[in-house]
């Protein structure tokens, strides 16, 4: 029986084990939703109710024949047709009539010449006009 002398060198390899989990911690902070869509019921109608209904209610028609009582009557438009083009606020009367140079007639909400001359006219704020414009740009939905 031959005794083989073989030296077996066992190399103990210590493999470095990476125990550090370098997981990227993703902060799931909800980004502020400035992209929230504008609601007809909650955002647009309250403006109309406060600033327009005094003159644009169905039982209180002015010569524009535009009733702003609710979504359906608004959608029907007035003497000059529909007051909005869904998706295009810049082409919509509902926005154009609120600006300094309306396409016809008076700037809305209508103020007396006396008030305008005295610098006491009450117009919608930039913010309110933007809200209505955004709602139209988002499709003018009954939301």
Q: Which residues contact ligand HEC (rule: CB under 6 A)?
A: 51-52, 54-56, 62-64, 66, 77-80, 83, 93-94, 97-98, 105-106, 108-110, 124
- How far lies 91's CA from each of 45, 64, 102, 108, 129, in Å? 20, 18, 11, 16, 14
Residue 69 CB, nearest approach to ligand HEC (Å):
12
CA atoms of 42 and 67, how far apart (whole Å): 19
Report the residue closest to ligand HEC, judged by CB.
105
What is the distance between the alpha carbons of residues 73 and 67, in angstroms, rounded to a whole number? Answer: 6
For ligand HEC, give the closer residue by CB, 87 or 105. 105
Q: Please, which residue, 25 or 100, has the CB nearer to ligand HEC?
A: 100
**In the complex, least distance from residue 139 CB atom to ligand HEC, rounded to whole angstroms:** 18
Task: Please name the residues in contact with 51: beta carbons below 8 A apart, sequence gap of 6 or more.
Answer: 109, 122, 124, 128
The residue among 12 and 132 lying less far from ligand HEC, judged by its C-beta, is: 132
């Amino acid at each position: 029986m031959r005794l083989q002398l073989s030296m077996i060198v066992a190399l103990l390899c210590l493999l470095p084990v990476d125990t550090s989990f370098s997981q990227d911690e993703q902060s799931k902070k909800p980004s502020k939703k400035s992209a929230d869509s504008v609601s007809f019921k909650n955002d647009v109608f309250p403006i109309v109710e406060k600033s327009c209904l005094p003159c644009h209610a169905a039982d209180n028609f002015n010569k524009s024949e535009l009733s702003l009582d609710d979504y359906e009557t608004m959608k029907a438009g007035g003497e000059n047709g529909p007051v909005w083009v869904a998706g295009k606020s810049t082409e919509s009367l509902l926005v154009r009539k609120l600006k300094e140079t309306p396409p016809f007639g008076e700037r809305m909400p209508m103020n007396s010449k006396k008030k305008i001359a005295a610098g006491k006219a009450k117009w919608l704020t930039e913010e309110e006009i933007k809200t209505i414009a955004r709602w139209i740009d988002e499709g003018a939905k009954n939301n």
